[in-house]
């Protein structure tokens, strides 16, 4: 099974309080996007690694990945996340495309391997990683607490996600006629009737969004490096 890995690294760093794109904010002196990119490179199973970045970061990304053994392609991102994914797909040679948010640096090889194994089932179009909700979840109205939602029916969706490339491209083409913009690729392909399943993700594979997330990520790297 040929698979292309696409890393979406086009987000801004505004919520982190940074002036540079989020994926290029360092954790322990290494840019966020490099953590997942290096994992994919070390697995030696992808047709290529496609990294989608802002135009201003293309040269730096090429330089930072020049030592990879896996073919690496750096392309410019789009206005929205789905535009960036679609841009990356145009350079994918694999039958399937694995899509990952650069802002989730702690992806591990075991999770990737599990997704790929599940994706071999030809009866499904896509596989996503997700975690069951353990907190009590409630709706709200302003500062008022609302109805409690049954958490046994809920999962928190993340990346990586893997799909049949041609089907995903077809869905992006059809999306042009739809007013609903998907928050992820699973939502997109499901909206056109394709089957998507999920596998257990990893709690460590969280998305860096706030300054607090950055502090936690830095602590994790230090612990892994035996620095604390």
pTM above 0.85, yes or no: yes
Whether CATH 3.90.550.10 fits 3-224 = yes
Looking at residue 179, its pLDDT comes to 63
Cβ–Cβ under 8 Å, residues 33 and 57? no
> Given phi > 0 = left and psi -120 to 50 = alpha, else beta, which region is 18?
beta
Q: What angle do CA 166, 170, 173 make, to 5 degrees?
A: 140
pLDDT tens sequence for the chain (228 residues) = 899 999 999 877 777 878 888 899 999 989 999 999 999 999 999 999 999 999 999 999 999 999 999 999 999 998 888 899 999 999 999 999 999 999 999 999 999 999 999 999 989 999 999 999 999 999 999 999 999 999 999 999 999 999 999 999 999 998 876 667 788 999 999 999 999 999 999 999 999 999 999 999 999 999 998 876
Each domain of the chain, given as residue ranges in start order, spans: 3-224
Per-residue DSSP letter, 88: H
Residue 29 neighbours by CB distance under 10 Å: 6
Please report which helix (H) or strand (E) contains residue 58, including its range. helix 58-64
Show Cβ contacts of residue 142 under 8 Å, excluding neighbours closer than 6 positions. none
Looking at residue 18, its pLDDT comes to 81
Per-residue DSSP letter, 182: P
Provide Rg for the chain, Cα atoms: 18
Residues β-bridged to residue 49: 5, 72
């Amino acid at each position: 099974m040929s698979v292309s890995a696409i890393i979406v690294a086009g987000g801004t760093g505004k919520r982190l309080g940074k002036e540079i794109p989020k994926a290029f904010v360092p954790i322990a002196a290494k840019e966020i996007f490099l953590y997942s990119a290096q994992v994919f490179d070390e697995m030696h199973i992808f047709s290529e690694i496609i990294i989608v970045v802002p135009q201003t970061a293309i040269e730096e990304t090429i330089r930072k990945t020049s030592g990879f053994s896996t073919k690496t392609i750096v392309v410019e991102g789009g206005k929205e996340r789905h535009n960036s994914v679609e841009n990356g797909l145009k350079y994918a040679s694999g039958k399937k495309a694995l899509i990952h948010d650069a802002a989730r640096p702690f992806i591990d090889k075991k999770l990737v391997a599990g997704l790929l194994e599940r994706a071999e089932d030809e009866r499904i179009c896509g596989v996503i990683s997700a975690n069951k909700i353990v907190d009590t979840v409630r709706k709200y109205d302003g500062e008022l607490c609302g109805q409690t939602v049954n958490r046994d029916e809920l999962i928190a969706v993340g990346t990586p996600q893997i799909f049949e490339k041609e089907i995903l491209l077809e869905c992006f083409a059809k999306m042009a006629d739809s007013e609903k913009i998907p928050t992820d690729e699973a939502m997109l392909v499901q909206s056109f009737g394709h089957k998507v399943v999920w596998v257990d993700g990893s709690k460590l594979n969280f998305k860096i969004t706030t300054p607090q997330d950055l502090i936690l990520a830095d602590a994790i790297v230090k612990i892994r490096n035996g620095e604390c």
